[in-house]
Chain A
């Protein structure tokens, strides 16, 4: 499987500068680049030096609006060219979205399109936010908010021009647990960037200040988008988890942008489940081999609009109570059947 990193960020936030600098790094030699520009005439490709044909420019509109027809076809074509040996055997794909893109449809395509999912795996989302104008962009533009909300890693750019504290605080009020890197003129090693953005690998260590922030049961809000965190001490049944994500998708609709967490499951007490969702599209739970720390509580973070901590907590509690009751009901007839069988045996005797 070829990992795909989505590089997003608002207009002028430094995506192309970051990508251009990354591409100078020798570790990026086996990376295919897909750049989406909003406009008829592409400019970004002139700013990005590439050494082979593993570079595709999409300039017929915003990628998030044409995601099926363009991104899916482009990835398929890249895979075919890789198989045929007409491009280098790239080991990673980086997709740079346009500054106005909503990353969600792109992530949905990467997660659910069968042809894409057969060859490519979403590795993470990097969002650039610049220290100079990032706070204002987050206040004024929903696209910027959504890019930060859906990110797995934030790169604060232009920290040589303005202090990063304000924008970092705002970013953390939207998406509290993710790594925030300060980068000047795109100067960062690809390995550090991709490792920071790898969504499957990242869980905050219990007891750390970051973990305390991540797992606090407080809601924070920024421009209508905020995050809530749920901590539950008792494990939930596996069936509850399926009902829970279904109910969230059904009832929160587009207000829920992102859900992620670690879940203690009754049926697998030694193996927590990791869940990731983007709007109504979820990865199947990934099971860790063991708990990463002594903290075995279920911890969930939901990012979106009008999210209610009390409703989400109660939904999870009520559904798990129903599932437990249903399992008890199912067990009862078996006991009854056993008793009836015993009676029949005795009658027969």
Chain B
């Protein structure tokens, strides 16, 4: 994907937002907390960018920031998915 794709990226953003709205509107109120923590974990996807920044090879301001970003994003990802799983395991039907 090279630079000229700005419009493509915006397309993707707009369409994904529509998909998100359609899907989230169907989530029942009883699952709103796990929905939040679970979607929170998804927003940890920014880990992709931080991995590349942390792996630049030399120790620079960028790689240090990348390292901190890996830690932050990983807390977000691991903490988010695990706590969501912990909550959802508690939901039982009679």
Tell me if chain B binds chain A.
Answer: no
